[in-house]
Amino acid sequence: MFTALPLLIIPILLYNLIAIAQIVAGNPDQAHAGLVAELFSVPMPSGGQWSVSGGDLLILLGLFMLFFELVKSTSSEKVAIVNHSLSMVLFIVALVEFLLLPGFATSTFFLLTMMVLLDVVAGFTVTIISARKDFEFGGG
């Protein structure tokens, strides 16, 4: 059952927790401020500082989840179709949130939404290509 759930739901849910908490508190714009605030910085050999924010970590988590989703999409099991369908639902929900809810119109959430879209498109593409290879055409 859990293999049918899209892994990209994890960073989307984390963003939702942050944004909805701010919306309920009456500060929808604070979701963006909290995500761009520096969590820590790493000194670089060049002498510069690499500042890492919460939004950066959510995008990194999303990229890892996208990788595992792409690996899962190579499966030809029936659960893969359910996974692709749930990914499509997740994309629609994320797109509606991005377009209509305050606190979701940020670059971080846009990039997470695009990762879900890429998961949907790549998942269906990989499934169709692998199914086409499995299908034998009768030749003359």
**Residue-wise DSSP of the chain:** -GGGS-TTHHHHHHHHHHHHHHHHTT-TTHHHHHHHSEEEEEE-TTS-EEEEEHHHHHHHHHHHHHHHHHHHHT--SHHHHHHHHHHHHHHHHHHHHHHHSTT--SHHHHHHHHHHHHHHHHHHHHHHHHHHHHSPPPP-
Question: What is the per-residue pLDDT across 17-49, written as a single tens digit (0 to 9) for each?
Answer: 988 888 888 777 777 787 888 899 999 999 999
Q: Is residue 1 predicted with pLDDT exceeding 80?
A: no
What's the N-to-C CA distance of the chain in angstroms?
43
Q: What is the pTM of this model?
A: 0.86
Question: What is the per-residue pLDDT across 48-106, written as a single tens digit (0 to 9) for each?
Answer: 999 999 999 999 999 999 999 988 887 767 788 888 899 999 999 999 999 998 889 89
